[in-house]
Chain A
Amino acid sequence: SYVLTQPPSVSVAPGQTARITCGGNNIGSKSVHWYQQKPGQAPVLVVYDDSDRPSGIPERFSGSNSGNTATLTISRVEAGDEADYYCQVWDSSSDHHVVFGGGTKLTVL
């Protein structure tokens, strides 16, 4: 089955840029989606189809996807961005199914 690998944690100072990676075999050929989850809350979609943003999501959130790595980039990080972030794809290679990465805890120093 398809596996998505994320770093367990990323730390960044306020105002700096955070980059959260999501690794997978030839992930560049898939559409990658990113979710933000704050404690006690349901996940919220922040980037879909590699680099598109839903309405209401700040432009500070952006995404890219190439080769074996997809990246969520958060510019001008704010304290309110501290959360867990998950990448997700649809794996149609074998048994069609949804795959989530293990999640990355973003800490704002």
Chain B
Amino acid sequence: AQSVTQPDIHITVSEGASLELRCNYSYGATPYLFWYVQSPGQGLQLLLKYFSGDTLVQGIKGFEAEFKRSQSSFNLRKPSVHWSDAAEYFCAVKGNSGGSNYKLTFGKGTLLTVNP
């Protein structure tokens, strides 16, 4: 069964500092990988996705993520954080074949606080 681990429950950074949110997944092959962001009381907004090809993917709002097969990781990065980036971030995995390709499996999320 596929699974996702986000080791950091809560991260605090200063505005303008760099950010890296960690994500490790478990899946038998190369899965589809996603990062979503959720502001309080809102739904999930897709930041970026990895399906295949270039392992460094660019997303919206200046975010990027790097797929590392050897480490089963898909870490999210941003070079300079803005106060509006404060939210909860979810990493998700979806199988790419057979009976596992219909649902997203999410990590528990990382809450990002941005200090002025």
Q: Do A and B bind each other?
A: no
Q: Which positions in A face B, CB cutoff 8 Å?
A: none
